[in-house]
Amino acid sequence: MIRMSDFLSKLRNISQGQELKIAIVLAILGGILTTVAFVMAFTTANMQYHDFTVNLPTFQTNPETRIPLATPEFQPQPPDGTVNYLNPWFSQKIFYFHVPVAWLSLMMFTLSAIFAAIFLKTRNPKSDLRSRIGMETTLIFTLGTMISGSMWTRAAWVNSWGEMAGKLLSEPRLVTYTVMLMFVVAYFVLRRSVDGEEKKATYGAVFTLLAWLIVPFSYAFTRLTQHTIPQAHPADALNTGMDPSNLLPFIVCIFGMSMLGYAIYTLRVAEEKKRMQLEVIKEDLEDALSDSHKQVGHADLMQQYSAAAVLGTATDKTENKEA
C-alpha cells in the first residue's frame, strides 16, 4: 500500500532547515554592507594616489645579457620604472571591489579543497556536495576577479584592447587567475565526463586538491620567470599606507563581500541538498506507484516460496512412490 501522507510529510520536511535562514540573513546583510562600501568609495573616500616606482630586476639592465626575452625596445614602461596611471580615479575605486573579490575566490577555493580532503577521508557525499558548490562559488569569484582586474588594468595603463592583451600576459596575478579559471572549468568538465556519482566525487576531489596545490606554484613561477617590468598592482597601493577614509570602505567591503560569498555558497548547498532529497522521494514514489501491485515484502516472497517448496516436495514423494 502506498500512503500518500508519508510522501507529503517527507516533502514537508524538506522545506525546513536552518541553513536557508542563515543564508538569507547573510545575503541581505552582505548586500547592504557592499552597497554602503560602494557609496562610501565614491563619496567619502579621499583621492589617494601615488606615483610609485618599481625596482627593475638587475639582470635586465645589463645590456650584455639577453636571457629575459624582453629587450629594452619591447618594454612598454618608461625605463626609470615609474608607473603612470591613465585613469587614477577609476583605478582607485575599482580597487575596493577587486581585492575583496579576489580574496574571496581564494578562500572559496581553499574551502573547496578542505571539503575535498574531508570527502576523501569520510566518503560522505555531503562533503562532496560542499566541495562542488565551493568550486561553483570559486568560478563566480574568479570571473569577478578577472573582470574587475582587467577593468583596473585598462584604467591603469592602457586604453586599447590590443595593448591590454599584452598586459594580461605579464601580470602574474592575472595569469594565475587564468590558470585557476582553467582548473575550475576542467573540474566541471571532468565531472560531466565521468559516470557514477562516487567516481565523479572522487576524481573531482583528487583534482581539486591537486589544483589547489598548483596555484601557489603558478603564482610564484610566473613571478620568477617574469621577463617584463613588474607592474604595479592594486594591492601595491597598500604598501604606501591607506588613508582612514579609504580604509573604512575597504574593510566594510571585505566583510560585505565575504558575507555575500558565504551566502551564495550556503544557498547553493541548501538548494542542492533539497534537490537530492527530492530526487530520492521522487524515485521512491515512482517505484511505489509503478510496482505497487508487485510490492510484496521479502517475508511474503519467502512464504510463497516455502509454500511452493512444500508442494514440490510432495510431488517428489508421490513420484518416488510410483517409482
Partner 1 sequence: MAEYVHNNNQAEAASDTPAIIARGVSRSFGPRKAVDDVSFELPEKAFLSIFGPNGAGKTTLLKVLSTLLPITGKGSASVAGFDVKTQADELRRRLGIISHNPLLYPDLSAEENLRFFADLYCIPNPEERIDELFEAVELKHRRYDVVRGFSRGMTQRMSIARALLPKPEVLFLDEPYSGLDPHASEILDSLIANIRGNHTFVMVSHDLDKGLELASHALILSRGQIVLYDKTDNIEKEAFRGLYRKVVGLGVS
Partner 2 sequence: MPALKATGLDALHPVLPNISSWRQYKAILRKDIAQELRTREMVTSMGLYGMLVLVIYYIALSQTGLDFDVTRIAAGLLLLMIVFTSMLGLNRSMIHEHDQGQLEALLLAPIDRPIIFLAKATTNLLFLLIVQIVVVPVFYIMYVSGSLPVQLGEIVPGPWWMIALGLTIGSIGVAGVGTLLATISVNSKGRDFILAVLFIPVMYPLLLVLVAALNAVIGGAVGFESVFWMNIAGAAIYNAVVIAAAFVLYDFILGV
Q: Which does 319 bind (CB under 5 to 8 A by kind): partner 1, partner 2, none?
A: none
Output DSSP code: residue 43.
T
Per-residue binder mask for partner 1 (CB under 8 A), 278-317, x = binder = --x----------x--xxx-x--xx-xxxxxx-xxx----
Q: Binding marks (x or -) toward partner 2, 257..286, rule CB under 8 A? A: ------------------------------
Choice between 125 and 166, CB closer to partner 1: 125
User: How many whole angstroms separate alpha carbon 264 and alpha carbon 30?
Assistant: 10
Residues 312 and 48: their CA atoms lie apart, in Å, by 96
Give the distance between the most distant pair of CA atoms in the chain: 115
Helices in the chain by DSSP H: which ranges? 4-14, 18-42, 58-61, 88-122, 125-156, 161-170, 172-192, 197-224, 236-239, 244-290, 298-322
Closer to partner 1 by Cβ: residue 1 or 224: 1
In this structure, what C-alpha cell is assigned to residue 152?
583596473
Burial of 272 (0-12, 13-18, 19+ CB in 10 A): middle
- Binders of partner 2 among residues 68 to 97 (CB under 8 A) are 69
CB distance 168 to 150 below 8 Å:
yes
Q: How far is the CB of 299 from partner 1 (least distance, A)?
A: 10
Contact residues for 154 (Cβ-Cβ < 8 A; gap 6+): 164
Shortest separation between residue 120's beta carbon and partner 2, angstroms: 5
| C-alpha distances in Å from residue 313, one per residue of 60, 179, 288, 303 | 97, 72, 35, 15
- Residue 179 is a binding residue for partner 2 (CB under 8 A): yes
Site string for partner 1, 257-276 (x = CB under 8 A): -------------------x
Shortest distance (Å) from residue 276 CB to partner 1: 7
By CB under 8 A, residue 143 contacts partner 1: no
Span of 159-167, 202-210, 286-294, 296-304 interacting with partner 2 by CB under 8 A: 202-210
Q: Which residues contact partner 2 (rule: CB under 8 A)?
A: 59, 62, 64-67, 69, 120, 179, 182-183, 185-186, 189-190, 193-196, 198-199, 202-203, 205-207, 209-211, 213-214, 217-218, 220-222, 224-225
